[in-house]
Structure 1
Amino acid sequence: MQGYRDDHLHLLACAAARRSVDVRAATSIADLLSMIGEAVQGRTAAADRDAWLRAWGYDDALLAERRHPTAAELDAVTRDVPTVLHHVTGHVAVVNTAAGHALGLTSGDVLVERQDLLAAVPRDDRSATVAGVTEVLADLVAAGITACTDATHTNDIGALELLAEAAAEVPSVKVTAMVGADRLDSLEDLDFGETVLSSGGAADAGAVRVGHAKVMPPHDDDSAIADLVAAARAHRFPVAVHVMDIDTLQATLDALEAHPPPPAGTATSEARRPMPDRTVPDRIEHCALALPEQLDRIARLGVAVVTQPSFVTRRAQKYREQLSPTEQAWLWPLASLLRRGIRVTLSSDAPTVPPDPAEWIEAATGRDIAPAERIDAETARRLCMEAGADR
């Protein structure tokens, strides 16, 4: 039986979320601080009392105060325990003063897209991380998912090798992993579509397929998109661009037009083999907000869209409060993409949303915001099936 495919998730982040204090149920900052304070008080072993604390899952838009907690508020319940509180999206974190000092900040702070700093937070050892990813892959199997694409922009060859080690334990899930567009040199001679094997693995077990070059625009700086696309083209990679708003989509489409993929059968350097005859489309990840004329450009460029319909239902309150009726009509397009002949796949963006195809289908067929973008259940199910947007 053909399985489902989650075409956009983050396996290492899913594993980390499983090992974090889960604060998704918090409806206010008081709730949030209570959960974190209980976790600090619950540490009994001396070694644990001084270890870093990682919490995950809050959404400022869904808290009663409609804001992020402050470092001072975290300090009140964590004291000297270095604490990192991750937003449910993974793109924002709040650190207390102790963690801020350890990371080289003058105080705790709200960090937006600061992976350069957060990379210094102590992590589990490799064996524990592999075990965590293995558990995540087993959960995918339980949900009927037999293939997935890891869309993490910080992936390099080391991350792919780690994922391959976990994939060897759950061979029933086919794993593709993107590589950061700024980290393609780490692959050395590996090309798009080739495989990274686990240590001692066979070609049919523990293999991770090399996916698109992931382009994550720096925070509030869409001008970098063109350079990242150009870097990916120099390595002969198709790109997958993170797009959440109209301005970023505009810059992405301009960059894709300025830097088209090389024709099949050509090579960009002597060190690389010719491009395969089969052309793989570039991808737009999310496409959360788009003007009709931008959708027309996506169709003309032959770009695929990998989207997450669950966001429409899970964040309905935020969208109704923060977006105008006109903007809501352009939110998370789906039917409009299909009418233009654009290739679409559905996904979760886990751990932000659970990897549950039944939820994606329900959201795609019954959304209240922009109901004109609803699709029928049969079509939604087909968009969840195993043939991904990187094939």
Structure 2
Amino acid sequence: MASGYCDDHLHLLACAAARGSVDVRDAVTVDELLATILRAVDAVVAARHRSSWLRVWGYDDALLAERRHPTVAELDTVTERVPTVLHHVTGHVTVVNTAAGRALGLASGDVLVERHDLLAAVPRPDRGEIVAGVTEVLHGLADAGISACTDATHTNDLTALELLAEASAGEPAVDVTAMVGADQLDSLEGLVFGDAVPPSGTAADEVRVRIGHAKIMPPHDDDSAIADLVATARAHRFPVAVHVMDIDTLQATLDALEAHPPLPAEMASSAPVRIEPDRIEPDRIEHCALALPEQLDRIARLGITVVTQPSFVTRRAQKYREQLSPTEQAWLWPLASLLRRGIRVTLSSDAPTVPPDPAEWIEAAACRDLAPAERIDPERARELCLADR
């Protein structure tokens, strides 16, 4: 087991893409955001690369003064005919200008939520650039004292895992576990949970990427799909990790996990899983941003691990105060409540949304203002970040 910190939930390819994008995280108004994009467009036009696509990343509608997404019409005023894709800091929402929308076959100016199927058509850097970018991200993790990480991207398939394996060969100080989308498990071609994914020409003892949980991202506003995705993962003998940001999704997730329990240990030897029975991982809930006390009780009974990001409660405190009632605020990003119930908890960043900085997670866990009853001791918080715990 690696020594050092573990960032147990991040997105390596998204981190690399963010590094190569126009960064608008510092914009506090829509006008400031548009001004930053205009400067980038001017550079594209000056370089006579009008056919180039412009990728912009990092805005948060909840933190802009206007409390809204930029519109397609606003993007059009500063992007001319340069196809432009504006990504929310979370990666779950996108706005594209008319030129990009036309190229992607869109007939409207709607904000895109979780439309990775459409965005897959946006031109990408070549494989070598992507691999180099991910390796640079891994270098940054190593510099931050992080020796292990979990890529929790729900679109991961075998191609993505092989790319991560190639990139990780350039930074042997960081061990990578990569989840696979629950709807992408057929792409693994015989590889299973716990298997290594070596880049070509790499010795087995140099492997730094292993296959992790089946990741479930509930379709937007449709939690009914969770149970079917859990059943799919069980058919492949995978534990699951479910993206959970609200009470309703948590309820649907707990119902699905109860209806489709993990593979019993006594069946492991006959199942096509090449790991020892005592190493079968529990299911995971990613984020657990809002939870009722009785739901936390169910998490404990089911033996589920919670992988959470305390930085969200400090970075988005203003949003939560504006949008949640005092009662809901008390249920926000539980931490102490999880630990009191004996639930296994790990801390993480969700990078690139939040920087992969364990010192920040520890401070947020210990010093949060919202729901202060959920604070924990700094040393306990540090233990929840360790790779070898």
TM range (shorter): over 0.9
Q: In 2 relative to 1, CA 179–292 (structure 1 residues): closer, same or farther, beyond 3 Å?
A: same
| Aligned residues of 1:27 and 1:63 also touching (Cα < 8 A) | yes
Counterpart position of 2:319: 318
| Aligned residues of 2:4 and 2:388 also touching (Cα < 8 A) | no
Q: In 2 relative to 1, CA 199–275 (structure 1 residues): closer, same or farther, beyond 3 Å?
A: closer
| Aligned residues of 2:181 and 2:214 also touching (Cα < 8 A) | yes
Could you tell me how far apart the structure 1 residues matched to 2:33 and 2:133 are? 25
| Aligned residues of 2:237 and 2:273 also touching (Cα < 8 A) | no
Could you tell me how far apart the structure 2 residues matched to 1:273 and 1:317 are? 46
Q: Could you list the per-position Cα deviations for residues 310-335 of structure 1 after superposition, in whole angstroms to 9, with x for gaps in the alignment?
A: 00000000000000000000000000
- The answer to whether the aligner puts 1:139 opposite 2:107 as a matched pair is no
| Aligned residues of 2:196 and 2:207 also touching (Cα < 8 A) | no
Counterpart position of 1:17: 18
Q: CA deviation at 1:107?
A: 3.5
Q: Letter of the aligned partner of 2:202 in structure 1?
A: G
Secondary structure of the structure 1 residue equivalent to 2:16: helix
Secondary structure of the structure 1 residue equivalent to 2:228: helix
1:224-235 aligned at under 5 Å gives the runs: 224-235=225-236
Could you tell me how far apart the structure 1 residues matched to 2:249 and 2:133 are? 33
Could you tell me how far apart the structure 2 residues matched to 1:268 and 1:225 are? 27
Bigger Cα displacement from structure 2, 285-294 vs 261-270: 261-270
Q: In 2 relative to 1, CA 73–269 (structure 1 residues): closer, same or farther, beyond 3 Å?
A: farther
| Aligned residues of 1:263 and 1:275 also touching (Cα < 8 A) | no
Secondary structure of the structure 2 residue equivalent to 1:300: helix
Counterpart position of 1:240: 241
Counterpart position of 1:277: 277
Could you tell me how far apart the structure 2 residues matched to 1:68 and 1:337 are? 34
| Aligned residues of 1:281 and 1:304 also touching (Cα < 8 A) | yes
Q: In 2 relative to 1, CA 267–362 (structure 1 residues): closer, same or farther, beyond 3 Å?
A: closer
Counterpart position of 2:373: 372
| Aligned residues of 1:284 and 1:306 also touching (Cα < 8 A) | yes
1:88-167 aligned at under 5 Å gives the runs: 88-167=89-168
Q: Could you list the per-position Cα deviations for residues 84-110 of structure 1 after superposition, in whole angstroms to 9, with x for gaps in the alignment?
A: 000000000000111111111113331
| Aligned residues of 1:7 and 1:306 also touching (Cα < 8 A) | yes
Could you tell me how far apart the structure 2 residues matched to 1:81 and 1:360 are? 38
Secondary structure of the structure 2 residue equivalent to 1:121: coil
Q: Letter of the aligned partner of 1:322 in structure 2?
A: Q
Bigger Cα displacement from structure 2, 95-104 vs 261-270: 261-270
Q: CA deviation at 1:273?
A: 4.7
| Aligned residues of 2:193 and 2:273 also touching (Cα < 8 A) | no
Could you tell me how far apart the structure 2 residues matched to 1:273 and 1:79 are? 53
> 5+ unaligned residues in a row in structure 2: which ranges?
none
Q: CA deviation at 1:207?
A: 3.1
Q: CA deviation at 1:45?
A: 2.2
Identity over aligned residues, as a percent? 77
Q: CA deviation at 1:189?
A: 1.1
Secondary structure of the structure 1 residue equivalent to 2:265: coil
Counterpart position of 2:47: 45
Q: Letter of the aligned partner of 2:338 in structure 1?
A: L
Q: Letter of the aligned partner of 2:376 in structure 1?
A: I
1:64-83 aligned at under 5 Å gives the runs: 64-83=65-84
| Aligned residues of 1:137 and 1:167 also touching (Cα < 8 A) | yes
1:344-363 aligned at under 5 Å gives the runs: 344-363=345-364
TM-score normalised to structure 2 length: 0.97
Q: In 2 relative to 1, CA 184–268 (structure 1 residues): closer, same or farther, beyond 3 Å?
A: farther
Q: In 2 relative to 1, CA 15–275 (structure 1 residues): closer, same or farther, beyond 3 Å?
A: closer
Secondary structure of the structure 2 residue equivalent to 1:285: strand
Counterpart position of 2:185: 184
TM-score normalised to structure 1 length: 0.96
Q: Letter of the aligned partner of 2:164 in structure 1?
A: L
Counterpart position of 1:298: 299
Q: CA deviation at 1:203?
A: 1.6
Q: Could you list the per-position Cα deviations for residues 298-354 of structure 1 after superposition, in whole angstroms to 9, with x for gaps in the alignment?
A: 000000000000000000000000000000000000000000000000000000000
| Aligned residues of 1:100 and 1:109 also touching (Cα < 8 A) | no
> 5+ unaligned residues in a row in structure 1: which ranges?
none
Could you tell me how far apart the structure 2 residues matched to 1:35 and 1:87 are? 15
| Aligned residues of 2:63 and 2:319 also touching (Cα < 8 A) | yes
- The answer to whether the aligner puts 1:331 opposite 2:332 as a matched pair is yes
Counterpart position of 2:34: 33
Q: Letter of the aligned partner of 2:159 in structure 1?
A: G
Bigger Cα displacement from structure 2, 111-120 vs 7-16: 111-120
| Aligned residues of 1:361 and 1:377 also touching (Cα < 8 A) | yes
| Aligned residues of 1:3 and 1:145 also touching (Cα < 8 A) | yes
Could you tell me how far apart the structure 2 residues matched to 1:268 and 1:254 are? 27
Could you tell me how far apart the structure 2 residues matched to 1:65 and 1:374 are? 31
